[in-house]
Amino acid sequence: MTQFPKDFLWGAASAAYQVEGAHDVDGKGLSVWDVYSHQPGTTYQGTNGDDAADHYHRMEEDVALMAELGMSSYRFSISWARILPQGKGEVNLAGIDFYSRLIDNLLRHNIKPMITLYHWDLPQALQDEGGWEARATTEAFVEYAKVCYQHFGDRVDLWSTFNETVVFIGHGYITAQHPPGVRDPARGLQACHHVFIAHAKAVAAFRKAKVAGLVNQLAVIGFVNVLQPHTAASSSQKDIKAREIADAIFTHWFYDPVLKGQYPPELLNMAQTALGAPQFAPGDEKLLKDNICDFIGVNYYKREMIAANDGESITTQNTTGEKGSANEFGFRDLFKFVRNPDGEYTDWDWEIYPQGLSDGIMQITQRYGKIPIYVTENGLGYKDPIIDGEIVDDARIDYLRRHIEATRSAIALGADVRGYYPWSFIDLLSWLNGYQKQYGFVYVDRDNNLNRKKKKSFAWYQNVIQSHGQIL
Ligand code: BG6
């Protein structure tokens, strides 16, 4: 049986807004999520991240738990507005201090930090100036990235710029479920282009700064995308064609710019003809071409079944009332997302399909060559059963076990997978589903002072890590 490579990282992941809390203390500026989540009707039962898991104040306790779990890496994001309250200009030293202490604590326990610079929490001050639709935001992002390189670059080897552009742009500008809550695909495509430009400029600045990481190895910088493999619902030509279109829109559009340095040409042409966007500024093509990233992070939760749409109208709302399925993304003339009649689904209607992880990794490896890949998120959103005071999350153990096996299969097939980060280390805020959708190895008692408690999966993952994947 294929073994995990010797240096394979066993991690877990989180994001600042979902875990930190302390949304307005120690000089932090407000982010778009701090503002948006306070507007009536935007989130599940009005939940917000004001306190989240209060990781900001309990960081040392949390890192001690990570060490006990045996994690060799921790993926977290930095809150831009904690570092630069206005998004640019004055630096908040208390923010620098928090992340610096977090990094030092991790390193003390031999846990490699992996930083995500942007996990959706744009400073509100920049949104007020146009957000990602404004070209100037790309410059503000580079300014912010450089502050992070300067303060943390001597200790952090693994960096990524953006998390899941398809989600924050798609929901921000097409389904209107994330800030800025707009329904306008043309504006979304322009905002999306600016994200790729901000990424390319931040990669260029990273290389220019020769960010060293630990012991003067050159650190690396990547990009994190959703990995959502599409399967044709039947072997008919029209379903196969529909799947190809879904791949081009949801996968190639988001991976090609950072791994090939260009958009898929046919799709770009279609978008510019139909919507007049994205518009390029002089030099953009070269900027993308010159700044291919070092690795790709993939977040995998589910696959999607695709069929040709024969003109019927589609509305989907799953059992928990969560909206925002991909069917709402506005490509109804081209294809539709259908349920797999034989599929295994979560309470949120996400298909559990471990093979999709290995298939997706192999699709990337085939399209872009053998690039380094990290599975930067993977996990089961679940209402964990509590039995006699213990959190018995057997379903999570089963989900993770099968997905780690799928990761091993991809390695056996020749993919260069270097780490696996379950989502999440701790129960945290789900953007649109509040605190009821749990993902962590560590439970947070929301009725009792946010106290931490280890779940059954904690001991299981501890064994997985200790045995380097042998006990699966
Ligand atoms: C990913 C995000 O899309 O999915 C995370 O990077 C998010 O931030 C995770 O929490 C799970 O999504 P949800 O909607 O179940 O919280």
**Which of 421, 430, 435, 439 to mutate to test ligand 1, by most ligand atoms within 8 A of the CB atom?**
430
Q: What percent of the chain has pLDDT over 70?
A: 95
* CATH number of the structural domain 9-466: 3.20.20.80
If pLDDT is split at 50, 70 and 90, which confidence band does 451 have?
A: very high
Distance, first Cα to last Cα, the chain: 12
Provide the 8-state DSSP code for 236.
S
Tell whether the model's pLDDT for residue 137 goes beyond 90.
yes
**Ligand 1 pocket: which residues have CB below 6 Å?**
15, 18, 163-164, 167, 299, 377, 381, 423, 430-433, 437
Query: Does the pLDDT of residue 321 top 70, yes or no?
Result: no
Which tokens hold the place of 438? 């749990």
351 is catalytic: no
Q: Averaged over 290-305, what is the pLDDT?
A: 97
Cβ-based neighbour number of residue 143 at 10 Å = 15
140-198 pLDDT, tens digit each: 999 999 999 999 999 999 999 999 999 999 999 999 999 999 999 999 999 999 999 99
Res 314 pLDDT > 50 = no
pLDDT, mean over the chain: 94
Which residue's CA lies nearest to atom 7 of ligand 1? 430
Mean of pLDDT values over 2-17: 96
**pLDDT confidence bin for 315, thresholds 50/70/90:** very low
For residue 331, name the pLDDT band (cuts at 50, 70, 90): low
Residue 320: pLDDT over 50 = no
Domains of the chain, by residue range, sit at: 9-466
**Residue 324: pLDDT band by 50, 70, 90 thresholds?**
very low
pLDDT tens-place string over residues 54-96: 999 999 999 999 999 999 999 999 999 999 999 999 999 999 9
Mean pLDDT of 17-41: 98
Top pLDDT among 79 and 218 is at 79
Residue 218: the pLDDT is 84
Contacts 24+ apart (CB under 8 A), 124-130: 124/29, 124/30, 124/31, 124/32, 124/34, 124/35, 124/81, 125/29, 125/30, 125/81, 125/85, 125/86, 125/87, 126/86, 126/87, 126/88, 127/32, 127/35, 127/179, 127/180
| For range 399-413, the mean pLDDT | 98
* Active-site hit among 133, 322, 328, 377: 377
Output the pLDDT for position 214. Answer: 86
- Relative to the CA of 224, which ligand 1 atom is closest? 6
Cis peptide before 278 (omega within 30 of 0): yes
Of the chain, the percentage scoring pLDDT greater than 90 comes to: 92
Contact 12, 19 (CB under 8 A): no
